[in-house]
A and B are shown apart, each in its own frame.
Chain A
Amino acid sequence: DADVTQTPRNRITKTGKRIMLECSQTKGHDRMYWYRQDPGLGLRLIYYSFDVKDINKGEISDGYSVSRQAQAKFSLSLESAIPNQTALYFCATSEASIDYNEQFFGPGTRLTVL
């Protein structure tokens, strides 16, 4: 079984709908992240959480919200989806290490907003 899982893997929705993307991990990592990837722009950080009680905005948090339900679960919500939120979304996890920051990624969710 994969260490970092994301659901759904693909989603097509309409403008204005509320969408939730879910991420679960079995790696026991404290830190979790949400990114989006767009062609030519690389991965950009939306939100991150260093532990269950910690939530931080990334570089592109507008239009998104997150919930850290447990150490193993971190969900991303689009309250009112718009077409420019069409992208590939990745969840990632990492250890709480001072000097080593390797992140492990889930398989991604491909979201299309019509």
Chain B
Amino acid sequence: RKEVEQDPGPFNVPEGATVAFNCTYSNSASQSFFWYRQDCRKEPKLLMSVYSSGNEDGRFTAQLNRASQYISLLIRDSKLSDSATYLCVVSGYPGGTSYGKLTFGQGTILTVHP
């Protein structure tokens, strides 16, 4: 079983749609959680961190369920510029073997069309 699993998609949605991505992780001791965005042939960049209480940044909402080891990303009112690959990322706790390292899911491809 992969440490971090995502539905690779692709997701093809019209502008204005709401789309949700899901991610599960296998290490219950994981401490930090992120969504990164990667444009085609570019480097990954942090989109947002994910907190237990849930957090929102404009049209983007991230949720974490530690009991189910599940992370989600919701994009509302999709824009053409949201087309990218979205990477679910987890990191370990201090003292653990995965501390300071990021483990990436394989990414979910999103295409927003006119």
Contact = CB atoms under 8 A, between A and B. Distances in A.
Given A45-B101, A107-B42, A101 B106 contact: no
Given A90-B43, A105-B44, A41 B106 contact: yes
A94 B100 contact: yes
Interface string B75-114: 0000000000001000100100000111111110000000
A43 B43 contact: no
Interface in B37-86: 41-46, 49
Q: Contact size class for B? A: 20 to 34
Given A42-B104, A45-B101, A50-B100, A101 B44 contact: no
Q: Contact size class for A? A: 20 to 34
Given A102-B46, A105-B44, A107-B43, A42 B106 contact: yes
Contacts of A31: 100
A99 to B, nearest CB: 7
Nearest to B106: A42
B104 A48 contact: no
A99 B100 contact: no
Nearest to A107: B43
B24 to A, nearest CB: 14
B69 to A, nearest CB: 18
Nearest to B103: A45
Interface of A: 31, 33, 40-45, 48, 50, 58, 88, 90, 94, 98-103, 105-108
Nearest 6 interchain pairs by C-beta: A105-B43, A42-B106, A43-B104, A42-B104, A101-B91, A102-B46
